[in-house]
Structure 1
Amino acid sequence: MECFSTTRLSAERLHQGHLADLVELHLDHEVSRYLGGVRSPEATKTYLLANMAHWDRHGFGLWVLRTRAGEFAGRAGLRHVVVEGAEDVEIAYAFRRAMWGQGLASEISAALVDIGHAQLKLPSLVGLASVENRASRRVLEKSGFTLERNAVYRGEDVVVYRLLMASR
């Protein structure tokens, strides 16, 4: 699925033309504090290429999000992750600071869960959040995910939430 939309957002498959928007997003300290820290433009380019390759391998991945007015809002998607040796598909989202507090993460989360369930027929999804990231944890809980365990992912302490698709 190359594109989709929600009530307030449009989503487009990640591509090279999104680099400038992603660089801006990843340079914001507040946005990046729970994403492994600020990424340089070079690191963001590597990130972009890796996530484009994910699309080529799996047929899904990250989308860039825009408001109905066309303003860059952030990025979100579904991607394969390995957490402490276990393979899963993760729901992921990050928004520009100007978009925080508007319920957009919950809106995109619901859409991603629907894609994972109805189109990809995944048995479950996980959500990873920094232990301290209360806002992201609330979004996962409101989206029906339940706390499964604490883990270490990329050297950081995280909580792993899971949504079993059979329970939907």
Structure 2
Amino acid sequence: MAFPASPRLRFREMQASDAPQLLAMFADDYAQGIYPAMQDDGAIARWIAWNQENYRVHGYGLWLTETHGGEFIGDCGLTWQNADGRPVLEIGYHVTLSQRGQGYALEAARAALAFGFAHTKADEITSIVSPDNPASIAVASKLHNEKREYTKPDGAKRLLFFTRRAAGAI
């Protein structure tokens, strides 16, 4: 399997043994406010299994991100999502509390964007962000060159940041 390339980070498939680090990543107050469902061992096990299925079916998913020295940073990668009534290839990224503010999310997302255009036929790659998540908005604003709003079927507002293949040079 191919992985994105990044100056400070390496990417690898998630494994069941990564569960404690992933659970801790979603445990701080900020992460709990954005991802309230990711607060127990079962949710993390389903997260890992979903990504492992994505690796099997698509050849990519959210990968675990680490420094080249092996320090846990978070996860980042590509998954298919539904946005505004259509499938979109999305870059997702999460960074553990102790590593936030060091540019890792943007670095990982740029690597995932380049990987996505090199290894998929997607015409655009997106990032779906809650308007209540200023940290992810800042990353997506630097990563992508276009944005629009949409409303999920449950009424929740979302921002859809995107880069089209023709504009995908980063």
Paired with 2:72 and 2:44, the residues of 1 have a C-alpha distance of 16
Paired with 1:22 and 1:97, the residues of 2 have a C-alpha distance of 11
What are the ranges of 5 or more consecutive residues in structure 1 without an aligned counterpart? none
Task: Work out whether 1:82 is the aligned partner of 2:87.
Answer: no
CA deviation profile, 1:97-147 (whole Å, cap 9, x unmatched): 111111111111110110011222321111111102122112112113311
Q: Is the 8 A contact 1:2 1:12 kept in 2?
A: no
Q: CA deviation at 1:69?
A: 2.5
Q: CA deviation at 1:85?
A: 2.4
The residue number in structure 2 matching 1:117 is 117
Paired with 1:17 and 1:72, the residues of 2 have a C-alpha distance of 13
The residue number in structure 2 matching 1:42 is 42
Paired with 2:155 and 2:13, the residues of 1 have a C-alpha distance of 28
Q: Is the 8 A contact 1:2 1:13 kept in 2?
A: no
Paired with 2:55 and 2:153, the residues of 1 have a C-alpha distance of 22
TM-score with structure 1 setting the length = 0.89
Q: How many residues align?
A: 168
Give 1:44-123 correspondences, 5 Å limit.
44-123=44-123
> Structure 1 vs Structure 2: percent identity of aligned residues?
24
| Equivalent AA in structure 2 for residue 149 of structure 1 | E
Paired with 1:154 and 1:127, the residues of 2 have a C-alpha distance of 19
Paired with 2:88 and 2:141, the residues of 1 have a C-alpha distance of 18
CA deviation profile, 1:20-73 (whole Å, cap 9, x unmatched): 221221233322322345421111111211121121111111110111331111
| Equivalent AA in structure 1 for residue 135 of structure 2 | A
Paired with 2:154 and 2:42, the residues of 1 have a C-alpha distance of 19
Task: Work out whether 1:33 is the aligned partner of 2:29.
Answer: no
Q: In structure 2, the residue corresponding to 1:33 is in which secondary structure?
A: helix
> CA RMSD of the aligned region, Å?
1.9
Paired with 1:127 and 1:153, the residues of 2 have a C-alpha distance of 18
Cα 1:2/1:19, change in 2 over 3 Å? farther
Q: In structure 1, the residue corresponding to 2:34 is in which secondary structure?
A: coil
Paired with 2:152 and 2:34, the residues of 1 have a C-alpha distance of 13
| Equivalent AA in structure 1 for residue 47 of structure 2 | Y
The residue number in structure 1 matching 2:137 is 137
Moved more, 108-117 or 16-25: 16-25
The residue number in structure 2 matching 1:9 is 9
Paired with 1:12 and 1:68, the residues of 2 have a C-alpha distance of 11
